[in-house]
Amino acid sequence: MSQWDHILQLHQEAPLTDVHVHPSLKAYLFRRNLWRHYRSGRMLNPFSSRSDFKMLEKGRVGVIWNAHYLPERELFGQCFAMRLVASSALPAYRKIMTGSRMARVQEMMDALEHEILRKPGKAELAQSAADVERIRQSGKIAVVHAVEGAHVLEGDLNNIDRLANRHVATIILSHFFDNGVAAHTKGIPDNNIVNRLCGYDYSWHHDVPLTDFGKDVLQRMTSRKMIADITHCSPEAREAIYVKVPSEQPLIATHLGVQQLNPDPYNLADDEIREIACRGGLIGVIFFTHWLDPREPHQGLEAIWRTVEHLHSVIGSFDHIALGTDFDGFTDPPDDVQDSSQLWRVTKMLLDKGLSDEDVKKILGGNAQAVLERGWV
């Protein structure tokens, strides 16, 4: 068997899974057909198309956890330059800035489901962990709904039930701004042009890192068999979440790095890595070198490997490790893995580093499926 055939076989058997990716963001904001590929590019470009279904098919991606991210209104309300650009370039700008945020994020889900239904023989929405397996057995791409940012809850616990009824598997509790749920880290890099143009107020305006409403959110999510994602939460909020969530309930962090390589509060410390692993959770390695290892801003494969290697050294195995690219999330992916079609390069790297087929399959998708089976309906 050639190496290429070997890689394709691993992608099929794993199956290759991206636990944090944003095709619906482009479908909703720009009204795009996700079965067309526009362009990937080699730099931060909000108009790029890195995880459309064409790129997913080319990369033999079998499962995506689509992160529905409704841009916070503060991004535009606090910055004239962003308002100016968005009002002229985003067809969905007026919708983002008006009406119920819960209604808007459900419209984003509708947009993704519409794209899936364009070619029902090639992709299907999963409604449970078992459904993911069934869809993959049929040879289609399995799509899992996830939500990024609890600002869409709008302070209403009933909105968690609405998301659960839409088969949402995970919710990221924090994002860029104060949402009244859990304290956040600074999620936009200091050297990003947005920070140079806009004087954002990233303050957290509460006395505790996890509010009473945040605790109620976690309790309701547990009762509805939804998995809490602690990416973007501050270290203090993460600690409060570890205390609040029952130890048998998995927690996940779908797109970040490790503090050993980059001591930013966005990333996980070693004791947190062990905490998530002991719960049967999951840590997704982001494809954004600013968070992984800013010393090499363009070459990501080695930074991804060093992160995987460190996670392995702390956990003691390749369990609980996954890939969370953040493609199409307005990030700047590395030059050597620019879009979903190039994920084979990660598989090749893992094989070249000497990992067994079984360990490679764990990272590519086996661990992701295992956490869905433990924590989702």
Write down the pLDDT at residue 43: 58
Write down the pLDDT at residue 204: 97
What are 247-269's pLDDT values in tens digits?
999 999 999 999 999 999 999 99
Write down the pLDDT at residue 320: 98
Tell me the C-alpha to C-alpha distance, in Å, between residue 132 and each of 25, 327, 362.
22, 21, 16
Write down the pLDDT at residue 194: 84
CATH topology of domain 3-375: TIM Barrel (3.20.20)
Residue ranges of the chain whose pLDDT lies below 70: 42-44
Secondary structure (3-state) at 207: coil
What are 59-108's pLDDT values in tens digits?
999 999 999 999 999 999 999 999 999 999 889 999 999 999 999 999 99
Is the torsion defined by CA of 333, 339, 340, 341 positive or negative?
Answer: negative
